[in-house]
Amino acid sequence: MLAKALAHESGASFINLHISTMTEKWYGDSNKIVRAVFSLARKIQPAIIFIDEIDAVLGTRRSGEHEASGMVKAEFMTLWDGLTSANTSGLPAQIVVLGATNRINDIDEAILRRMPKKLPVPLPAYEQRQKILQLILHDAKIDSEHFDLDHVSKITAGLSGSDLKEVCRDAAMVPVREYIRQHTAEGRQIISIDPAGYRGIRTHDFIGCSSKHTTPGCEGSFNSSQDKVGSLASDGEYNNVQE
């Protein structure tokens, strides 16, 4: 989402390069796809080429790696280097390559050298979680008398945006389950559920859901990535940009 927002704000075309697109089963096809992507970017520039989970396709090269994978990385880096050369109009290409990863240590060093800007994206803070929850719950049925957004924002500390979405989804299902249990206990046959028949979402619906979606390893992984980014900057080799 951040990459799309950047492309929108800068007025650049956005190319979302999926890993599955670059891993064709026929030998040499992946290289052709990489060349086609850069060719397209030159034609529609200014453009942003975005690769999510970049470590999966441009990870560290190893001795036991398949030859085709190494060829794709070499092709990608060659075309990437070619972006600095002038085009037919005599101007450098207006193309930016962006990548996202949770495992910066697994990215090939040659790739990291071509990406001078490293921007750690931390987990949302309290105020950010408030805004995310407001956005997700905008159209949800809320029991306003028994719902405290401030408290929900506090107990969801350590969750990412996608985690918050899942927490809200689970919390929204609590009243529905209560409705179903109540009607089945009375011996009724439920053919359809009337949204007006069950209560709105309350604060306590989030308590069990938020703990279920907590991922203890996430924070450690992020800190490890931050250490990697910081060490690269301290060597004077890269620029570390943080907000």
Most confident of 25-29, 123-127, 232-236: 123-127
Note the maximum CA span of the chain.
79
The Cα–Cα gap between 28 and 75 comes to 11
The Cα–Cα gap between 148 and 145 comes to 8
Q: Are 69 and 36 in contact (CB under 8 A)?
A: no
Same domain, 75 and 116: yes
Judge whether 26 lies within some domain.
Answer: yes
240: part of which helix (H) or strand (E)? strand 239-240
Q: Are 84 and 97 in contact (CB under 8 A)?
A: no
The C-alpha angle 225, 112, 235, rounded to 5 degrees, equals: 75
Judge whether 223 lies within some domain.
Answer: no
User: Mind listing the pLDDT tens digit for each residue in 214-233?
Assistant: 544 344 444 544 554 454 44
Judge whether 240 lies within some domain.
Answer: no
Q: Which long-range contacts (CB under 8 A, 24 or more apart) does 76-81 make?
A: 76/34, 77/110, 77/111, 77/114, 79/34, 79/35, 79/38, 80/38, 80/114, 81/114
Judge whether 86 lies within some domain.
Answer: yes
150: part of which helix (H) or strand (E)? helix 149-155
Check residue 84 and give its pLDDT.
Answer: 64
Q: Taking residues 7-26, what's their average pLDDT?
A: 76
Same domain, 161 and 187: yes
Check residue 234 and give its pLDDT.
Answer: 44
Distance of alpha carbon 157 from its chain centroid, rounded?
18
Judge whether 227 lies within some domain.
Answer: no
* Domain carrying residue 209: 126-216
Same domain, 116 and 147: no
Give CA torsion, residues 142, 147, 152, 153, to 10 deg. 80
User: Mind listing the pLDDT tens digit for each residue in 138-163?
Assistant: 988 888 898 999 999 998 988 888 88
pLDDT at position 39 over 90: no
Could you tell me what percent of the chain has a pLDDT over 90?
9
DSSP three-state, residue 51? strand
The Cα–Cα gap between 78 and 57 comes to 15
Check residue 150 and give its pLDDT.
Answer: 92
CATH of the domain at 209: 1.10.8.60
Same domain, 45 and 137: no
What is the reported pTM? 0.60
Judge whether 19 lies within some domain.
Answer: yes
Judge whether 79 lies within some domain.
Answer: yes
Domain count, the chain: 2
Q: Are 50 and 15 in contact (CB under 8 A)?
A: yes
Same domain, 114 and 134: no
User: Mind listing the pLDDT tens digit for each residue in 42-87?
Assistant: 888 888 888 888 777 777 766 656 666 667 777 777 777 776 665 5
DSSP secondary structure code for residue 95 in this structure: E
Residue with the bigger pLDDT between 84 and 106: it is 106
Check residue 240 and give its pLDDT.
Answer: 42
pLDDT at position 136 over 70: yes
Same domain, 111 and 58: yes
Check residue 216 and give its pLDDT.
Answer: 41
CATH of the domain at 61: 3.40.50.300
DSSP β-ladder status, 117-118 and 239-240: parallel
Residue 76 exposure: Cα atoms within 13 Å on the Cβ side: 24
Give the domain-ending residue among 121, 156, 173.
Answer: 121
Same domain, 12 and 37: yes
Same domain, 116 and 130: no
Same domain, 103 and 12: yes
Q: Are 153 and 134 in contact (CB under 8 A)?
A: no
Same domain, 46 and 116: yes
Same domain, 99 and 150: no
Same domain, 209 and 150: yes
Q: Taking residues 197-206, what's their average pLDDT?
A: 86
Give the domain-ending residue among 121, 136, 152.
Answer: 121
